[in-house]
Amino acid sequence: MDQDALRVDGLFLSRSGRTVLSGVSFALAPGSFCGLIGVNGSGKTTLIRALLGLLPADAGGIEGAARGHRALGYVPQKIDADPYMPLRARDVVALGFDGHRYGLPLPSRRRRDRVAAMLAAVGADAFADRRLGDLSGGQQQRIFIAHALVREPQLLLLDEPLANLDMPSIAGIVSVLKRIARESGVTVLISSHDVNPLVGALDRVIYLAGGGAVSGRPDEVLRSGVLSRLYGHHIDVLRVHGRLVIVPAGETHPIAPDEPHVERLE
């Protein structure tokens, strides 16, 4: 048996002929809650699509216990469905259960129970019978998480699920995901351009920059020295009133590293 849920080794990925990631390596332990952090365009979506098998790798390997269609759950960064799509929230989750199957969807108690359990797990009972297009962004996000979880994947990949959400929704979704990772042993990889909403919950950070990646515990990775080596130039990692701020040195920024309420993480 494979020790890691996922192991990425020297992975090279490109889009339209341009190299996006060159030689990225990391491993995810089963049941861990992992953050994929990087600025816009750093390659988070590209990496997630490659892990899902939606994008071929130029070189390098992706291995681990959580491989293949049965083992993967996916929440895309953006779903632009028709607002009149005739699907209730509940139907979307049911499509996660058996939407790839052929034939008429005969009534099934197993499917109904699984769907109901997932809707409850993500806190979507109240709007389960409403049309998908009538739900808010945060409500849809919960539905797509339930959709991805209903087949009980070993690895759940979520692409920027927290973008466009307010603070209470972010806290709600992070705690739902954290609980699912803990209770059912699912490995969760969640991408975000901001580390702050996640940092308290993460077991592991994979930080993307300049086509490369560093990974480790948050307190190992989110340090000036580590990120400076990754970026190839000096980076300040500052803690300001408990919030992490990652700034290239010399960039005009409202926070001066030497002010008293600012802590610099070497």
Q: What residues make contact with Mg ion under the rule CB under 5 A?
A: 44-45, 77
Binding track over 117-156 against ligand ATP, x by CB under 6 A:
----------------------------------------
Phi, psi of 171 (to 5 degrees): -60, -40
We find the least distance from the C-beta atom of residue 225 to another protein, in angstroms, to be: 38
| 104 makes contact with another protein (CB under 8 A) | yes
Closer to ligand ATP by CB, 48 or 115: give it: 48
Q: Is 146 helix (H, G, I), strand (E, B) or coil?
A: helix
- Whole-angstrom CA distances from 258 to 154, 239, 254, 264 are 45, 11, 12, 8
CA distance 88 to 127: 9
| 44 makes contact with ligand ATP (CB under 6 A) | yes
Q: In the set 41, 200, 225, 248, which binds ligand ATP (CB under 6 A)?
A: 41
What's the distance, Cα to Cα, between the start and end of the chain in Å? 38
We find the least distance from the C-beta atom of residue 191 to Mg ion, in angstroms, to be: 7
Residue 218: contacted member of Mg ion, ligand ATP, another protein, none (CB under 5 to 8 Å, by partner type): none
**Among the candidate windows 56-64, 76-84, 111-119, 202-210, which touches another protein by CB under 8 A?**
76-84
Binding track over 49-78 against ligand ATP, x by CB under 6 A:
----------------------------x-
| 102 makes contact with another protein (CB under 8 A) | yes
Element (H, E) at 167: helix 167-184
DSSP E strand boundaries for 79-163: 155-158
- Whole-angstrom CA distances from 136 to 74, 116, 169, 254 are 20, 20, 11, 34
Residue identified by tokens 């816009």 is: 40
DSSP for 23-42 reads EEEEEE-TT-EEEEE--TTS
Q: CA geometry: angle at 15 spanning 13 and 17, to 5°?
A: 95
Positions 136 through 155 that interact with another protein (CB under 8 A)? 147, 151
| 192 makes contact with ligand ATP (CB under 6 A) | no
Structure tokens given for 130: 């409403």
Give residues in contact with ligand ATP (CB under 6 A). Answer: 15-16, 20, 38, 40-46, 77, 160, 193
Give residues in contact with another protein (CB under 8 A). Answer: 49, 52-54, 69-70, 72-74, 76, 79, 81-82, 84-88, 91-92, 95-96, 98-105, 125-127, 129-131, 147, 151
